Amino acid sequence: MPVSTSEMYRSWMKAGGRCECREHCHDHDGVRCNRPLLWQNMGVDAPGRWEIGIDEGKNPSKFNRCVILCHDCSDKAEKHEK
């Protein structure tokens, strides 16, 4: 199920415009990454770049299935999945 702009925006607001990654394998040791991000740099190669991640374990009808990830954490997640 694709992510709508409104779902993405609600997730962005919930995250406070910061990376939500807590993955131990991303060197966060369970602590949130919390890197500041810029709304306008979603998918753009610029400082504050971010991506939307989907938590497949959550109900697809709920907006909280989205996770806001900085570019570094998003890249690490993609490499980890392969």
Domains assigned to the chain: 5-81 (3.40.1800)
What are the start-end ranges of the E strands in 1-82?
50-54, 66-70
The three-class DSSP label of residue 6 is helix
What confidence score (pLDDT) does residue 57 get?
63
Dihedral in degrees, nearest 10, Cα atoms 82, 25, 49, 61: 70
One pLDDT digit (tens) per residue for the chain, 82 residues: 578 888 889 999 999 999 999 888 888 777 999 999 999 999 999 999 999 988 766 555 555 678 999 999 998 877 766 5
Residue type, 79: K
Dihedral in degrees, nearest 10, Cα atoms 43, 44, 47, 48: -30
